[in-house]
Amino acid sequence: MPESFICSKLQCNHNAAAQQFGRLSDQVAVLDLPVSLTICDVEGYMLRSCWTTTAIVLFLPMFAASAQDNSQPDPLFASDEIIDVEIEAPFGLLASERPDDEEVAGKFRYTADDGSLVEFDVAVRTRGRLRRTKEVCQFPPLRLNFKKSEVKGSLFDKQDRLKVVTHCRKQARYEQAIISEYLAYRIFNLLSDASYRVRLLRATYTYSDEERQVQSYAIFIEHKDRVGKRLNAKTLQIEKSMIQDLRRPDLNLASVFQYFISNTDFSPIESAPGEDCCHNQTIFALEGGPNYTIPYDFDQSGLVNAPHALPNPRFKLRSTRVRLYRGRCVNNGYLPATLKLFNDKRDDIEALVRSQQELTKGTAKLMLAFIKKFYDTINTPKRLHREIVKKCI
């Protein structure tokens, strides 16, 4: 059995690679064998440079298994069409007091497919950490609590508590940041079904205590319990996790995705003070383990490029748009298949950005250029080795 094989610029064909390692059983998903992998940059017949790592070449079917839905998404998240909604509540009070444990009464309205106006009673409160502070956001993120008995049979069937990502400030750049963060979620949806679904809104906020309205884009995020339902998994309420307890292909995918969007505001094993594990990544327990880890909250990423985003001082980066890989060295063997998945999805990712009509031409151009830099890195072996392989932790 050969000990290594050569790929040109990481455009590896998994089946061809497997053939080089002999005739294998159809049960390849359970083998998960580490091998020595040499990746070389070839131009014409000239061998320019190579680097070697240990790779798990027989895990691609595991990606397919981990990304497989066990049920259909709820109606609210089964479509990508933007929906118009109105939320009525004492937003003057909420913006001033910003309670994270007290709810106020409100109304939620939208127009159904048959043209009828639908109204629900909702309980509203503010949420979040950084974006809930007055110094950062004039308008805080929200959580809506629906009554399941009211929403049954409607577009919001099975919904209970929904996070709303709001505009922060009523300026064009903040509006574009909302659309960009929505796209970050949608891009991860393309890479894995083990991800949070989202729905884009055109929201009208009616201030019941000030007799005024504000219009802006917003995002509904699928509740973690509904994600767990799709995955036949349950959320864990723990203080910290261990790397060995997490599904390694999924963790590697999440790590590369965080590098793709240029985000360092996360941890797959540690939690922020007063929160369940883990920081901006949810742990989902599977019977018999290991567990899923699913990222969320991307406003501090370079891809979203929110005006309030600041680079993590821990890493001494000059900007949120400077990428830093924070993946685990023990998972480097999963990099070839992870990067192949990104390359396979490149056209879909770029098409998603181009087709998002709510993005300005300038924002779309900037986002596509940022995405191109990622692909330039992963498809140039020297840069890949320098920026990702050697930067693992």
Same domain, 358 and 238: yes
- Choose the final residue of a domain: 171, 191, 224: 224
* Residue 246 forms part of a structural domain: yes
CB 81 within 8 A of CB 108: no
Q: How many CB atoms lie within 10 A of CB 371?
A: 18
Mean pLDDT within 157-161:
96
The tokens for 135 are 């110094």
- Choose the final residue of a domain: 191, 224, 257: 224
* Residue 64 forms part of a structural domain: no
Element (H, E) at 293: strand 292-295
Mean pLDDT within 148-159:
96
C-alpha distance from residue 98 to each of 103, 134, 276 (Å): 10, 9, 21
* Residue 190 forms part of a structural domain: yes
What pLDDT was estimated at residue 53?
52
- Sequential DSSP letters for 294-355: EE---TTSTTTT-TT----GGGT-S-TTS------GGGGGGHHHHHHHHHHTHHHHHHHHHH
Ramachandran region of residue 205, left (φ > 0), alpha (ψ -120 to 50) or beta? beta
Task: Tell me how far apart the alpha carbons of residues 89 and 104 are, in angstroms, rounded to a whole number.
Answer: 7
Percent of the chain with pLDDT over 70: 82
What pLDDT was estimated at residue 55?
53
In our burial notation (b when 16+ CB lie closer than 10 A, e otherwise), range 95-125 reads beebeeeebbebebbbeeeeeeebebebbbb
Ramachandran region of residue 308, left (φ > 0), alpha (ψ -120 to 50) or beta? alpha
Mean pLDDT within 265-287:
89
Same domain, 264 and 316: yes
What pLDDT was estimated at residue 50?
52
- What pTM did the predictor assign? 0.84
Residues 6+ apart with CB under 8 A from 390: none
Same domain, 136 and 171: yes
Same domain, 92 and 118: yes
Per-residue pLDDT band for 188 (boundaries 50, 70, 90) equals: very high
Same domain, 156 and 261: no
Mean pLDDT within 235-239:
87
Indicate if the pLDDT at residue 209 is higher than 90.
Answer: yes
Element (H, E) at 99: none
Task: Tell me how far apart the alpha carbons of residues 197 and 14 are, in angstroms, rounded to a whole number.
Answer: 29
* Residue 70 forms part of a structural domain: no
Q: Helix %, strand %, coil % for the chain, to 5?
A: 35, 25, 40
* Residue 61 forms part of a structural domain: no
Query: Which residue range forms the structural domain that includes residue 299?
Result: 226-389
Same domain, 220 and 230: no
Task: Tell me how far apart the alpha carbons of residues 279 and 272 are, in angstroms, rounded to a whole number.
Answer: 6
Task: Tell me how far apart the alpha carbons of residues 64 and 327 are, in angstroms, rounded to a whole number.
Answer: 21
Task: Tell me how far apart the alpha carbons of residues 116 and 109 are, in angstroms, rounded to a whole number.
Answer: 10
Same domain, 313 and 208: no
What pLDDT was estimated at residue 46?
37
- Choose the final residue of a domain: 189, 224, 259: 224
Task: Tell me how far apart the alpha carbons of residues 246 and 290 are, in angstroms, rounded to a whole number.
Answer: 5
Task: Tell me how far apart the alpha carbons of residues 76 and 92 are, in angstroms, rounded to a whole number.
Answer: 28
- Identify the DSSP state of 223: -
Same domain, 43 and 96: no
* Residue 376 forms part of a structural domain: yes
CB 180 within 8 A of CB 100: no
For helices 172-191 and 361-378, give the axis angle rounded to 10 degrees.
Answer: 40
- Sequential DSSP letters for 352-368: HHHH-TTS-HHHHHHHH
For the chain, give the mean pLDDT: 85
What pLDDT was estimated at residue 149?
95
What pLDDT was estimated at residue 132?
81
Same domain, 293 and 167: no
Indicate if the pLDDT at residue 88 is higher than 50.
Answer: yes
CB 54 within 8 A of CB 333: yes
- Identify the DSSP state of 29: G
Same domain, 254 and 206: no
Element (H, E) at 384: helix 381-384
- The sign of the CA dihedral 147, 153, 154, 158 is positive
Same domain, 210 and 93: yes
Per-residue pLDDT band for 66 (boundaries 50, 70, 90) equals: very low
Q: Which residue has the higher pLDDT, 22 or 188?
A: 188
* Residue 166 forms part of a structural domain: yes
Same domain, 82 and 212: yes
pLDDT in tens, 373-383: 999 999 999 99
* Residue 45 forms part of a structural domain: yes
For helices 248-261 and 361-378, give the axis angle rounded to 10 degrees.
Answer: 130
**Single-letter residue type at 266:** F
When divided into structural domains, the chain yields a total of: 3
